[in-house]
C-alpha cells in the first residue's frame, strides 16, 4: 500500500536529496516539501490525508521542535519521523513524548532509512541504533532501576524469548520462522506479554527488556 509523505528541512539541498531518495522507494508518494515548521503545517492543512511526516528537529523558524505535538493534537492519524543530526538525550525524549514514531539521525544510510519508514508505516517505532543505545545507557544509569533482574516476572519462558526478539526488532514473521510457530501465535504471545508488563507499544517492550536485563546494549 502506498503511503503519502510530507518532508520538512530548512536546508534545501538536503530536502531535494531526501525527496529524490524517497521517490525511488516502493510504496512511497511524496506530496510536498517545506523549508520551515510553519510551511509544513500549512502543507498538512492542504494534505490532511498525509500518512507520514519527516521533519528535522531544528529549523530556522524554531517550529520544528513543536511539530510533533501540533500534529499529535490536530492530526492524530499522521505519524511523525524526526530526521536530524541532533543526538541530545533531552531532545530525543521530548520528540518521543510529543508523539514522534521514529527518531533517525541524518548519518543513516538509505537501507536503514527505508527499513525505518516501513516499520513506522506498519505502526511500529524506529530509533537509530545510536539513539537506542543512548536511551538504554541512560536507563541503566538511573537509580530507579535495579542492577539485578527482577525475580517477580510472571512471563513464561516462551514469552521472555519472544520479548527479547521483539526488543531486537524482529518482525512477527521473523519470530515465527525462528521459533517454528505461526505468526498468529506470535501475535497472541505479543498481546499477552504486553498486557502482563503494562507496555503499550514496542518501545515499552524494549524498556521492560532493558530494565529486567533480558537484553543488553
Q: What pLDDT, on the 0 to 100 scale, is given for residue 152? A: 42
Mean pLDDT of 88-108: 88
Q: Which of 92-96, 99-103, 122-126 has the lowest mean pLDDT?
A: 92-96
Q: What pLDDT, on the 0 to 100 scale, is given for residue 141? A: 59
Q: What pLDDT, on the 0 to 100 scale, is given for residue 148? A: 38
Q: Looking at the predicted structure, is the pLDDT value of residue 116 above 90?
A: yes
> For the segment 17-76, what is each residue's pLDDT rounded down to a tens digit?
999 999 999 999 999 999 999 999 999 999 999 999 999 988 877 777 788 889 988 999
**Spatial separation of the C-alpha atoms in residues 12 and 129, rounded to whole Å:** 27
What domains are there in the chain, each with its CATH number?
3-138 (3.40.50.2300), 145-211 (1.10.10.10)
Following DSSP, what letter does each residue of 86-155 receive, concatenated? ---HHHHHHHHHTT-SEEEETT--HHHHHHHHHHHHTT--EE-HHHHHHHHHHHHH-TTS-SS--S----
Give the model's confidence band at 216: pLDDT under 50 very low, under 70 low, under 90 confident, else very high: low
The H-or-E segment that residue 213 falls in is none
Q: What pLDDT, on the 0 to 100 scale, is given for residue 11? A: 94
Neighbours of 165 (CB within 10 A): 20
Give the model's confidence band at 12: pLDDT under 50 very low, under 70 low, under 90 confident, else very high: very high
Q: What pLDDT, on the 0 to 100 scale, is given for residue 151? A: 36
Mean pLDDT of 122-131: 87
Q: What pLDDT, on the 0 to 100 scale, is given for residue 180? A: 76
Q: Express as a percent the part of the chain with pLDDT over 70.
A: 90
Q: Are 50 and 31 in contact (CB under 8 A)?
A: yes
Mean pLDDT, all residues of the chain: 85
Q: What pLDDT, on the 0 to 100 scale, is given for residue 155? A: 77
Mean pLDDT of 149-153: 43
> For the segment 157-196, what is each residue's pLDDT rounded down to a tens digit?
788 888 888 888 888 898 888 887 888 888 988 888 888 8
pTM: 0.65
Among 59, 57, 3, 63, residue whose Cα is nearest residue 29: 3
Give the model's confidence band at 139: pLDDT under 50 very low, under 70 low, under 90 confident, else very high: low
Buried b (16+ CB within 10 A) or exposed e, 75-89: beebbbbbbbebeee
Q: Looking at the predicted structure, is the pLDDT value of residue 146 above 60?
A: no
Handedness of CA 103, 106, 112, 114 (dihedral sign): positive
Q: Please, what is the angle between helix 183-197 and helix 172-179, to 10°?
A: 110
Amino acid at each position: 500500500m502506498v503511503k503519502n509523505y510530507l518532508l520538512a528541512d530548512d536546508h534545501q539541498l538536503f530536502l531535494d536529496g531526501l525527496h529524490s531518495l524517497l521517490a525511488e522507494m516502493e510504496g512511497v508518494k511524496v506530496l510536498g516539501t517545506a523549508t520551515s515548521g510553519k510551511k509544513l503545517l500549512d502543507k498538512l492543512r492542504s494534505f490532511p490525508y498525509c500518512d507520514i511526516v519527516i521533519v528535522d528537529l531544528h529549523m530556522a523558524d524554531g517550529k520544528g521542535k513543536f511539530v510533533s505535538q501540533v500534529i499529535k493534537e490536530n492530526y492524530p492519524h499522521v505519524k511523525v519521523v524526526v530526521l536530524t543530526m541532533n543526538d541530545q538525550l533531552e531532545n530525543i525524549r521530548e520528540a518521543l513524548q510529543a508523539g514522534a514514531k521514529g527518531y533517525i539521525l541524518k548519518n543513516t544510510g538509505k537501507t536503514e532509512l527505508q527499513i525505518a519508514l516501513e516499520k513506522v508505516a506498519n505502526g511500529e517505532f524506529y530509533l537509530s541504533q545510536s539513539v537506542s543505545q543512548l536511551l538504554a545507557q541512560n536507563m541503566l544509569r538511573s537509580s530507579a532501576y535495579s542492577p539485578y533482574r527482577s525475580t517477580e516476572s510472571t512471563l513464561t519462558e516462551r514469552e521472555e524469548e519472544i520479548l527479547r526478539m521483539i526488543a531486537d526488532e524482529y518482525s512477527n514473521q521473523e519470530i515465527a520462522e525462528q521459533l517454528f510457530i505461526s505468526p498468529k501465535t506470535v501475535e497472541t504471545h505479543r498481546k499477552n506479554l504486553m498486557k502482563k508488563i503494562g507496555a503499550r507499544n514496542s518501545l515499552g517492550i524494549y524498556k521492560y527488556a532493558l530494565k529486567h536485563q533480558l537484553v543488553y546494549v
